[in-house]
Amino acid sequence: MSTSEAAEETATSWHDGQTIQADEVMNDLALTALTRSLFKFTVNPDTADAIKHGMRMLTHSLLKRIVLPTAWERLPTPGNIRFNRAMTRMNNAIADVIAEYRDAGEDRGDVLSALLAARDDNGNPLSDQEVHAQVMTLALTGIEAPGATLGWVLYEIGNNPEVAARVAAELDSVLGGRTPAYEDLPKLEYLGRVINEVLRLRTPMLFLPADSADRPRRRIGHPRRPGTDLQSIPAAPRRPVVREP
């Protein structure tokens, strides 16, 4: 529900004729949806703000931090100082939320409650550090990809009036003006195909580890040494394909 609520809040904040920066707005929507799915409840509004701000900074600077040498991260540049402050503030806020959830000891129907209730094979709960790491993994993986995809979906629909009309007609007939629930998704069949095509043409994944070879094999005619990583480039096939049933 948190995702559809966040989407509804975003959509109702727009007015007719307004210009939006689709990639930024969709990234923010993905961020809000993700933080609400992780923790439905935060005692202090400052905690929610620290987490959102930290995650926004993290996703924005992720690529730069992967590409640049790690020595650069230690330089006291204004950007690095801001980044480190935001990370400290976010980490403290996440630690506070974990402590508060543990104290309350109730299932709030969100991802953090599920992580705290999880038990390993020996019946032991996750430590605070493990829960923290899971939250960070979800934050790192769950914002940029859906945010970018949604931005491209809006772009493609906006540039293809016929597609826009078919999407609008399907939404009207399936939903009749109400906000979609999870159960409606299979019925939004045409929209699903539009999103799949956008994922194919505008994938947010530039590189994927296709295979980590532990024995020699030949790919596209080239021998590979054991231990060589093979990267696939899903962004390569950009040709539109018409798939009508």
Which residues would be at the binding site for ligand HEM (CB under 6 A)? 34, 137-138, 141-142, 145-146, 149, 199, 204-205, 208-209
Please give the residue whose beta carbon sits closest to ligand HEM in the complex: 142
Smallest gap from Cβ 114 to ligand HEM, in A, equals 12
Smallest gap from Cβ 213 to ligand HEM, in A, equals 15
Residue number with CB closer to ligand HEM (34 or 55): 34
Smallest gap from Cβ 229 to ligand HEM, in A, equals 12
Count helices and strands in the chain by DSSP H and E runs: 10, 4
Angstrom distance (rounded) from CA 27 to CA 20: 12
Q: First and final CA of the chain: distance in angstroms?
A: 32
Which letter, b or e, does each residue of 58-76 get, where b requires 16 or more Cβ atoms within 10 Å of its Cβ? bbebeeeeeeeeeeeeeee
Residue number with CB closer to ligand HEM (2 or 61): 2
Residue 18 DSSP label = -
Residue number with CB closer to ligand HEM (23 or 80): 23
Smallest gap from Cβ 78 to ligand HEM, in A, equals 31
Smallest gap from Cβ 18 to ligand HEM, in A, equals 25
Residue number with CB closer to ligand HEM (93 or 135): 135
DSSP-based three-state secondary structure for 239: coil
Q: Specify whether the CB–CB gap between 21 and 142 falls below 8 A.
A: no
Residue type, 74: R
